[in-house]
Amino acid sequence: MSGQVRADFAILPRTPPDTSTVDVVATNCGDPVAVGLRPVHSDLMNDSGRGGHYYWCTRHHRVETDADVCPAKHVLGPYPSAADAENALQKVQERNEAWEAEDARWAGEGN
């Protein structure tokens, strides 16, 4: 095992539970090497308080809401409005064209 480092990590909840920090214990072959508090972001990653979201379903070719959304592999979004979701494919096409033009510029094809 020469030249290899093994590190195990454990995240331990504080007692009583505290949503702002957790104890982090790192070990190297069982010996503690770092102990401390790390901040934890406990908010949801979406802004679920703003109401529903809209998605464009690439399988059904329609706008879907949080209530009837297909699996993530079939949708684009979320979008703040049904109109934004309905225009998702147009936005994808515009971005693809811009990226392709940028790639061509970088490759020296557009000079």
- Containing structural domain, residue 27: 7-39
Lay out the sheet containing 62-65: strands in order across: 62-65, 54-57, 75-79
Cβ(63)–Cβ(55) below 8 Å: yes
Residue 81 has pLDDT above 60, yes or no: yes
Say if residue 55 is in the same domain as residue 88: yes
- The answer to the question of residue 1 being in a domain is no
Say if residue 55 is in the same domain as residue 34: no
pLDDT at 1: 47
Say if residue 58 is in the same domain as residue 32: no
Say if residue 56 is in the same domain as residue 103: yes
pTM over 0.75: no
Say if residue 35 is in the same domain as residue 69: no
pLDDT tens figures, 52-77: 899 999 999 999 999 999 999 999 99
- The answer to the question of residue 2 being in a domain is no
- The answer to the question of residue 103 being in a domain is yes
Which helix or strand (DSSP H or E) is residue 39 part of? Answer: strand 31-39
- The answer to the question of residue 45 being in a domain is no
pLDDT tens figures, 85-97: 999 999 999 999 9
Say if residue 35 is in the same domain as residue 55: no
Residue 82 has pLDDT above 80, yes or no: yes
pLDDT at 30: 56
- The answer to the question of residue 13 being in a domain is yes
Per-position DSSP letters for 77-95, written without gaps between them = EEESSHHHHHTHHHHHHHH
- The answer to the question of residue 20 being in a domain is yes
Say if residue 15 is in the same domain as residue 62: no
Domain count, the chain: 2
